[in-house]
Amino acid sequence: MELAIKQIALPLSLDRQFSFENFISDRAELIRTSLKSLVLGEGEAQIGLWGAAASGKTHLLNASAELARRNGVALQIYDANQLLRCDASEFEGFANCDVLAIDNLDAIAGHPAWEACFYQVINRCRDGDYRFVFAMTHKPDDLVTSLDDFRSRLQWGLMLHLPTSSDIEIREILRRRALLNGIDLSDDVISYLMNHHARNLSAQMEILRHLDGASLSQQRKVTIPLVKQALQEQNR
């Protein structure tokens, strides 16, 4: 019988965007070094990332996957929200990998079967079967779990907090992400986006994706007039 769980494939078309080099944070060097060492088998066997939405958790897991792909390391990446649609007893896809990566792991809190499953996942990590990296919105202490041992095992390895990006960091992320798409965002355009739209990274990335499409379709540079026009059309 075909397993219900499928490996979540790394979106190869986005490799350049999900890299350690374009992760911007005042703790970037520590975070990059720690994750690279785990992927290459030279450091911690278990690392947890936690932080608010748009703090870079998914970016870092995908960057880890891209580093693994380039170095011949077998990494499997899953989203816990998708795992919940399946039976915990069917979760066998991690058995032969070097690194298991799980995004949104706190989604399984309160689901006893899945908590028990990842209790065993972490035990196997400690036994040296593979390395384990995961991301959550909340730190383990704040999780409401059915299995206390699951919560405690999440803290066995290194826990790294990802702070929310500052305005300065968002500006730099916008500039770098735009350059990857061949767009040169001027300071004036970035200031307009920051002053007239939500100052959070997720919202700004969504706007940038829309501007990229508008710029390509109209064969125009991204200027403030184009920004106004494109976003007005989007909101109609």
Using the predicted structure, report yes or no on whether residue 17 has a pLDDT greater than 70. Answer: no
pLDDT at 12: 37
Q: Name the domain boundary from 161, 182, 201.
A: 161
Query: Looking at residues 171-200, what average pLDDT do you find?
Result: 79
Residue with tokens 């929310």: 164
Q: Where are the beta strands (DSSP E) in 8-74?
A: 46-50
Q: Are residues 76 and 22 in the same domain?
A: yes
Q: Which residue has the higher pLDDT, 25 or 71?
A: 71
Using the predicted structure, report yes or no on whether residue 197 has a pLDDT greater than 90. Answer: no
pLDDT tens per residue, range 93-132:
666 799 999 999 999 999 999 999 999 999 999 999 999 9
The pLDDT confidence band at residue 154, using thresholds 50, 70 and 90, is very high
Q: Are residues 102 and 53 in the same domain?
A: yes
Percentage of residues of the chain with pLDDT beyond 90: 37
Q: Residue 52 maps to which CATH number? A: 3.40.50.300
Q: Which residue has the higher pLDDT, 39 or 225?
A: 39
What dihedral angle (degrees, nearest 10) is formed by the CA atoms of 75, 30, 50, 86? Answer: 0
For the ranges 10-19, 32-41, 154-163, which has the lowest average pLDDT? 10-19
The phi and psi torsions of 55 (rounded to 5 degrees) equal -90, -5
CA 86 to the chain's CA centroid: 22
pLDDT at 217: 74
The token pair that represents 234 in the structure block: 């989007």
What dihedral angle (degrees, nearest 10) is formed by the CA atoms of 62, 50, 191, 206? Answer: 50
Query: Looking at residues 191-220, what average pLDDT do you find?
Result: 77
Q: Are residues 156 and 175 in the same domain?
A: no
Residue with tokens 């299995």: 147
CA distance 172 to 24: 8
CA distance 56 to 135: 10
CA distance 235 to 135: 33
Domain containing 89: what range?
12-161
Using the predicted structure, report yes or no on whether residue 181 has a pLDDT greater than 60. Answer: yes
pLDDT at 94: 67
Q: Are residues 220 and 117 in the same domain?
A: no
